Structure 1
Amino acid sequence: MNAYMRGKTATQTKSARLATIARTHTSGLCALGLALVPAYASAQQTAGQSARGALESGDIIVTAQKREERLRDVPVPVTAVSASTLTDQNQTRAQDFFSNVPGVNVQFQNNRARLTIRGITTSPVTGNPVIGYTVDDAPYGSSTGQSGLFGSAPDLDPSDLERIEVLRGPQGTLYGASSIGGLVKYITTDPDLKEVRGTVAVGTNTIRGAGQALGYNVRGAINLPLGETFAIRASAFTRHDPGYIDNVVSGEKNVNSGTATGGRLSALWKPSETFSVKLGALYQNRDVFGSSNVDPRLGFGSGFLQADEIGAGHGNGKQQQYSAVINAGFGGVDLTSVTAYSRSTNYDLVDNTASGLTGFLFPLVYPQANGEFGNVLRKGYGLKKFSQEMRLAGSVGGAFDWIVGGFYTHEKIDYTLHPNATNPNTGAVYGIPLIWVDDLTFKEYAVFGNMTARLSDIFDVQFGARYSKNRQILTHREWITFAPDSEYAYSIVSPRSKGNSFTFQVTPRLKLSVDHMIYARLATGYRPGGPNAVCDPGVLPCQFDPDKVINYELGAKGELLGQALSYDLSLYNIDWKDIQITQRIGAFSFGTNGGKARSRGVEIALESRPVDGLTLAVWGAYNDAILRESFVTSLLYTAKGDRLPFSSRYSGRFSFNYEAPLTGEATGSIGASVAYIGNRKGEFVDTEQTAPLRQTYPSYMEVGMTAGVKWDDWKVNFFVQNLTNRRGVAGGGYLNQTSQNPNWFYYIQPRTVGLSIEKQF
């Protein structure tokens, strides 16, 4: 499946054939030629059939339920994206490929992508994360919104990955907190004990509006066996993304360019078939040199334009993750231990001139500026996280499969705000009149279990439960400078909070035949509450509570006409209560709970392989996510029946891909896709008077094309993204009191044309 894993020798030919089979079974369920793997229905994998045997038969193996299974056997709506497909199509950023997954919408802010799955969100900056992320089963990112990133999707380069799995709907039983909307699993490539092999790839692209600026990427990987039981794998990449937005204030062209570099080192020790240790170290550094926001009031005659303050727009993110995964078998019982430590530091420089500080506090502190101020806000986020999961899995007489385990995480989070008072004409900094510093400690303990009971040859039921508790301590500090040479500590508080939660799931599955399956799924999820920096019992709550969802789902998967046609259908209804929201009293904002919502919809995917080499795929999704209760705060105004933000009611995609021999050893391919993203609502507004001004992001269609040639150890791919150069709106235009600028909008990337060349050895 992974491009790096296909070799050149006669021994490797079998792997190449298996990769071709896997690609034949992948679905094009996303735009721009991105191939997604639908979950097909099939017979339950027998007790004696190993995952290796399934792989050799061409099946796709996933770990959605924390054990290796054929994708078509998993009674969960899962989409699997192969890393080789991502690199072939230059899908190297989160916003490039997640927006093409059924039921998933991407909202872009501060140069980071935030996901909405099945409509479960109320704001990009309200409450704790609603989507969970793991890397090799180790949780990635913070469990709370206090880190400032609010659950934004990791931007891991595909060169480090084997595949990405997207699980739709709540996954609280096996994966815990902050997965009430769904979960994204990043699976890295394991070292291979058998062969020395590797790959080197280079690529370039040009974006409409970038002028002569070209993007490029270079990536490479090598696998080295060191004996029969030990191997290492190393990969590295560097990437430059050209900018295409001009700043009319500074006069700079292509301000939103960016670079990313990183790599991964992994080692595998496997002295026997029943014991292995995998160590991994991941590092990435990402620089963005200007914001991607666009001010449509400036027009589009000369391309995308913005009017950010001088000095705003730059951002940097550094991510490190170290992990140890131990697998051991003890007479029919398998032990898995996942230990991880991660560290990340991020900052953004944001134009915050629209805030009240600019006209109120700045003139008091810096009267010599004669009232001319810019406000460039530096937002810094830091996270240190340790996690440990231990689980046991086994079977009882072929009638029961079970998993039990425990989980612990300890997080140290810091969040800083420095609003720089600047000269709007030169960008010179007068000073920092206000400093906000939050330090949060988050600890969580959990136990969980899952059991599948096979009641007959065609019917089984899966049960799962999880109990967790968390403790949090927040230290909040503020300083206000009343003169350039003096400081005053405004407040120092240390509120605490605690909480616990019980989640469960029940999933009956009926195998109508070896090719058809129907399943039902009752599953719950939660995200933890947390402490408020400002606390006054009876007036301001000292903490906000968890919110919870319960998902009712019916699915069907299967194959017809001798596997020439496959289908995957899901119908769901999600009830959401105690929604986490933000309120304000005076100058203080705080978290609380209020209101109910529900999300219901249908997702269907069809794939046909009418002749050898040709794959036709189509998917469509309907999602109706609305509030069931209205609530009004000093930050948000909502009414019963209002749509939740950022999700399309209607979306879909059609694609085709054709692969055929050319001459000699060469094989050619060509493909195209068209995706439809329906209109979406923006963030909730702050008053009833502004309710008619709540943003509606128009629908748009996006077209992509691909073509490629493979021969021997070489592969050349040509791609076009956003062929018709549509200006699809991806977010922005906020109108509530936390908005930095209601005239900022984020658009999908203009037409991009590129070429990549890969050599395997």
Structure 2
Amino acid sequence: MVRPASPLALLSLTIASPALAQERAAEVDIGASRLDVAIKQLSRQTGTSIGFRESRLATTQVRAVRGRFTASQALERMLLGAAIRARRVAPATYLVEPFVKPPVAARRPPARQRPLAVEPPHGEILVTATKRDIPLGSYPGGVQIVDGSELSAAESLRGTEAIEARIASVASTHLGPGRNKLFIRGIADSSFVGPTQSTVGQYWGNSRITYSAPDPNLRLYDVKSVEVLEGPQGTLYGAGSLGGVVRVVPRSPDLQAFEGSAWGGVLAVQHGKPGMDGGAILNLPLKQDVIGLRALAFGSVEGGYIDDVARHLDDINRVRTFGGRAALRVDPGDDWTVDLNAVAQRIDGDDSQYAERSVGGLDRASSIAQPFRNDYWLVDLVARKRWGSLELTSSLGYAGQYVFERFEGPELADPASPEVQPTKSAAPAAYSQANRIAMTTGEVRLTRRGPNGTGWLLAASLLHNRARTNRRMEVAPFGTPLTGVLNQVEEATLYGEGTIEPLDRFTLTFGGRLTHASLSGSSEDVAEIVAFRIDPGARASRSETRFLPSLAAAYRAADRLTLFARYQQGFRPGGIAVRREYIQRFAGDRVTTLEAGARYRSPSLDFAASVSATQWTDIQADLIDGFGFPTTANAGDGRVLSIGMVSRWRPIAGLELDAALYLNDSKVTERFTVALPADLLTTAIDRLPNVADASGRLGAAYTAPLGTDLELTASGFARYVGKSTLGIGPILGRLQGDYLDTGFELRIGRERRGVSLAVTNLLDARGNRFALGSPFLIRDRDQTTPLRPRAVRLGFDLGF
């Protein structure tokens, strides 16, 4: 709020909020920005009055501050290195004013002056995904962090695709929203979502999003940050984090401020139909400083752009997404915090988004519609208690997911004998698959934070995951059930990690995770005697016990430079999978990674580089079974080499340039032979699928004032994804990738209201993001998944 000048004390402050009688520490989350914007946010988050008299100070660039601080502590960090200071003029009231360093006395010779200390890195960024909030300068590993305030409504609408566009180490398949798999830094097992876990652990706040299901593509509205930990994270996150972890941190309720916001937009798609999106957020303090509620609702309709020439239909792949979130926070005092969160989202796709090369870049010829659906819901309860540097966290979560897909394919001559190939005159059939996944998790952990990233963590966790898959073949007017499967996993885990500083600026981190997993399964829709006739032992319950050690070191060679090295492991337990009409077991797999790198941070330049080598044993790969559905088998042993570089440069106030490059090389070092029903040949596997040989990004963001109360914000990017293969063998070993994606966004307005223009795929390129549409037609048709054609979104946002 802007207050007019007045002779009274501090009524001349440019920006202020209601003062509290007594300061206390609060959660502060403010990105690097102009002074006027930053102190508005800090005033609201800490409940203090902060302002300045001289209007010229408004455009001063200040540092990012994140963590739990009092207002004075946050201001000290925010203004570090700037020629201004904050002076306390009354209880919970601060005045920001110019600061002139006293001149050095003439009698003191310059040669005898004590040298000034080197400035610490700008802003104190905490890596919260470490579960003990390690400062970025002390973290011994590869990490990428996206500030949630940088994500516009247009970007948030894209969900996981926005993360992929911003972070070059993250890749994804592109079967369709709610149907994809994520990969980090070249650790990719296959293109298909089968019974095995993903190689990436996905988390929403404190809770795991999925276990053995596709990425639900949750929209990124109203998030505090997105953190990507690169490399195996077995110690902290356990099974299913072979390539790394993606953690989205949503914004928590504000217990003091009644506020809200809304946004909307209309989308025009070249060669396609228009779309629209909108949503609203409400923050309501139910009891000042004690209970707060934050609720969010959103919806979107994305117009299709694929034409079906056989059915004479245009723009068939429309997608509708609706969802919401609610968060209730209770602060009963005595440093307790209790959070109850709920997330729900539904994605409905009218048809698949693939084309056929022989028909056209945005065209295909199908006999039936191939719709899909993804319903996702998550509820979790998190309680925290602080005792100084100690924190106890206890959480309980439940996640559910329903995924339905329909594919076109030729009718099987005999579903009981899929080795009998369909005839050329076979009628078109609809193959459907429904996955129902339910996961319950619980964890208790105690952490202690020390200086320079030192401290420790001890935790225990339980997990239960139940995944049921049902399949059908439908040829009008009849339907035939095919073999399905039920997989259940229970995990009990103890883990811990500790960091010490044996030498000045040098830290060592030790960790370990002991997990006991119980696995069981059964057949669905067919008699067990038939389903388990090839592998009778697959029906028996079994267990695995794994210990995953970790070791890391970090050396602060200078205040701005950190060198690090890391040894880490990850694993996935085994299970059972349908192959053709029968069920077989697959074994667990394991990765071991050695990584070394450096990170440099200064007010004008950030740079990070790393090199890693990964050994992967008993690789679980999702293949295509005799019907065309995904199945899982152990493909062999392999290795992945990766080099990554990321930089951000701020040459002048308001302008930031970023660049990233990742190079990957994968090879199967010991081949297992896998019978591929797709071509009925025993095929040797040579290269891991979906590992792009190179990926990179160039980006720019610019902010400038327009007059006294308007601001211009512009950003753009270009992202290149290199060549990879769809899968293994002569049929699935098709090339994909080798395309350039681009985007640009412009916003004009004030902090709480503005209009924006966003353009994606500026070059209107086609590319081939994914060489698959229907796995049942992969033998006979050359399928591609093009980029969405050039799209223009005109939007607005407002807050109160």
TM-score (norm 1): 0.83
Question: What amino acid is the match of 1:545?
Answer: A
- Paired residues of 1:583 and 1:589 also in contact (CA < 8 A): yes
- Paired residues of 1:78 and 1:168 also in contact (CA < 8 A): yes
Residue number in structure 2 paired with 1:226: 286
Measured at CA, do residues 728 and 240 of structure 1 come closer, stay the same or move farther in structure 2, by a change above 3 Å?
Answer: same
Question: What amino acid is the match of 2:311?
Answer: S
User: SS in structure 1 opposite 2:168?
Assistant: coil
Residue number in structure 1 paired with 2:364: 306
Q: Residue 246 of structure 2 is aligned with which of 184, 187, 192?
A: 184
Question: What amino acid is the match of 2:469?
Answer: Y
| Cα displacement (A) at 1:295 | 0.8
Mapped pair 1:526 → 2:571: yes
Q: What RMSD, in angstroms, separates the aligned Cα atoms of the two structures?
A: 3.8
- Paired residues of 1:495 and 1:535 also in contact (CA < 8 A): no
Residue number in structure 2 paired with 1:235: 296
Q: Which moved more, 1:319-328 or 1:693-702?
A: 693-702
User: SS in structure 2 opposite 1:99?
Assistant: helix
Measured at CA, do residues 61 and 215 of structure 1 come closer, stay the same or move farther in structure 2, by a change above 3 Å?
Answer: farther
Measured at CA, do residues 471 and 12 of structure 1 come closer, stay the same or move farther in structure 2, by a change above 3 Å?
Answer: farther
- Paired residues of 1:497 and 1:543 also in contact (CA < 8 A): no
- Paired residues of 1:205 and 1:752 also in contact (CA < 8 A): yes
- Paired residues of 2:318 and 2:351 also in contact (CA < 8 A): yes
Mapped pair 1:674 → 2:732: no
Q: Residue 551 of structure 1 is aligned with which of 571, 593, 604?
A: 593
- Paired residues of 2:600 and 2:608 also in contact (CA < 8 A): yes
Residue number in structure 1 paired with 2:506: 459
Deviations 1:143-185 (A, max 9, x none): x4xxxx3xx2231112253222122111111000011011111
For the residues of structure 2 that align with 1:84 and 1:370, how far apart are their CA atoms?
Answer: 56
Q: Residue 384 of structure 1 is aligned with which of 438, 448, 452?
A: 438
| Cα displacement (A) at 1:68 | 2.4
Q: Greater RCO between the two (CA within 8 Å, min separation 6)? A: 1
For the residues of structure 2 that align with 1:190 and 1:308, how far apart are their CA atoms?
Answer: 46
| Cα displacement (A) at 1:284 | 0.9
- Paired residues of 1:508 and 1:520 also in contact (CA < 8 A): yes
| Cα displacement (A) at 1:602 | 1.2
For the residues of structure 2 that align with 1:391 and 1:95, how far apart are their CA atoms?
Answer: 29
Residue number in structure 1 paired with 2:408: 351
Q: Residue 620 of structure 2 is aligned with which of 577, 580, 587?
A: 580
User: SS in structure 2 opposite 1:601?
Assistant: strand
| Cα displacement (A) at 1:680 | 1.7
Mapped pair 1:413 → 2:476: no
Residue number in structure 2 paired with 1:20: 33
| Cα displacement (A) at 1:205 | 1.3
Residue number in structure 2 paired with 1:35: none
For the residues of structure 1 that align with 2:227 and 2:334, how far apart are their CA atoms?
Answer: 26
TM-score (norm 2): 0.79
For the residues of structure 1 that align with 2:778 and 2:647, how far apart are their CA atoms?
Answer: 41
Mapped pair 1:11 → 2:17: yes
Mapped pair 1:63 → 2:128: yes
| Cα displacement (A) at 1:53 | 7.8
| Cα displacement (A) at 1:516 | 0.7
Q: Residue 606 of structure 1 is aligned with which of 647, 653, 660?
A: 647
- Paired residues of 2:440 and 2:465 also in contact (CA < 8 A): yes
| Cα displacement (A) at 1:329 | 2.2
Q: How many correspondences in the alignment?
A: 694
Question: What amino acid is the match of 1:132?
Answer: G
Residue number in structure 2 paired with 1:645: 689
Residue number in structure 2 paired with 1:434: 481
- Paired residues of 2:742 and 2:760 also in contact (CA < 8 A): yes
| Cα displacement (A) at 1:456 | 2.2
Deviations 1:241-276 (A, max 9, x none): 110001122222111101111111110011226210
- Paired residues of 2:409 and 2:777 also in contact (CA < 8 A): no
Measured at CA, do residues 68 and 395 of structure 1 come closer, stay the same or move farther in structure 2, by a change above 3 Å?
Answer: closer
For the residues of structure 2 that align with 1:598 and 1:50, how far apart are their CA atoms?
Answer: 50
| Cα displacement (A) at 1:535 | 13
Question: What amino acid is the match of 1:446?
Answer: T
Q: Residue 659 of structure 1 is aligned with which of 703, 707, 711?
A: 703
User: SS in structure 2 opposite 1:173?
Assistant: helix
Question: What amino acid is the match of 1:732?
Answer: A
Matches within 5 A, 1:13-412: 18=31, 20=33, 58-94=123-159, 96-100=161-165, 101-109=167-175, 111=177, 112-125=179-192, 127-142=196-211, 144=212, 149=213, 152-210=214-272, 213-227=273-287, 228-272=289-333, 274-300=335-361, 304-310=362-368, 312-330=369-387, 332-353=389-410, 357-361=411-415, 373-394=427-448, 401-412=455-466
Measured at CA, do residues 383 and 456 of structure 1 come closer, stay the same or move farther in structure 2, by a change above 3 Å?
Answer: same
Residue number in structure 1 paired with 2:738: 699
Measured at CA, do residues 380 and 747 of structure 1 come closer, stay the same or move farther in structure 2, by a change above 3 Å?
Answer: same
Report sequence identity in percent.
Answer: 24
| Cα displacement (A) at 1:308 | 2.5
- Paired residues of 2:37 and 2:751 also in contact (CA < 8 A): no
Measured at CA, do residues 699 and 24 of structure 1 come closer, stay the same or move farther in structure 2, by a change above 3 Å?
Answer: farther
Measured at CA, do residues 637 and 204 of structure 1 come closer, stay the same or move farther in structure 2, by a change above 3 Å?
Answer: farther
Deviations 1:645-700 (A, max 9, x none): 11221221222222111112001122332222222222112xxxx37x83122512
For the residues of structure 1 that align with 2:72 and 2:568, how far apart are their CA atoms?
Answer: 28
Measured at CA, do residues 12 and 410 of structure 1 come closer, stay the same or move farther in structure 2, by a change above 3 Å?
Answer: farther
For the residues of structure 1 that align with 2:663 and 2:652, how far apart are their CA atoms?
Answer: 30
- Paired residues of 1:98 and 1:105 also in contact (CA < 8 A): no
| Cα displacement (A) at 1:611 | 1.0
Query: Based on CA coordinates, which of the two structures has the bigger radius of gyration?
Result: 2
Residue number in structure 1 paired with 2:546: 501
Q: Which moved more, 1:190-199 or 1:651-660?
A: 651-660
Measured at CA, do residues 22 and 633 of structure 1 come closer, stay the same or move farther in structure 2, by a change above 3 Å?
Answer: farther
For the residues of structure 2 that align with 1:585 and 1:84, how far apart are their CA atoms?
Answer: 44
User: SS in structure 2 opposite 1:178?
Assistant: coil
User: SS in structure 2 opposite 1:719?
Assistant: strand
For the residues of structure 1 that align with 2:656 and 2:665, how far apart are their CA atoms?
Answer: 30
The runs of 5 or more residues in structure 2 that have no matched partner are 1-13, 20-26, 39-63, 80-122
For the residues of structure 1 that align with 2:204 and 2:442, how far apart are their CA atoms?
Answer: 13
- Paired residues of 1:499 and 1:545 also in contact (CA < 8 A): no
Residue number in structure 1 paired with 2:104: none
For the residues of structure 1 that align with 2:779 and 2:241, how far apart are their CA atoms?
Answer: 28
Question: What amino acid is the match of 2:268?
Answer: T
| Cα displacement (A) at 1:564 | 1.4
| Cα displacement (A) at 1:90 | 3.1
Measured at CA, do residues 683 and 94 of structure 1 come closer, stay the same or move farther in structure 2, by a change above 3 Å?
Answer: farther
Residue number in structure 2 paired with 1:426: none
The runs of 5 or more residues in structure 1 that have no matched partner are 1-7, 26-41, 422-428, 481-487
Mapped pair 1:469 → 2:516: yes
Question: What amino acid is the match of 2:151?
Answer: L
For the residues of structure 2 that align with 1:16 and 1:502, how far apart are their CA atoms?
Answer: 36
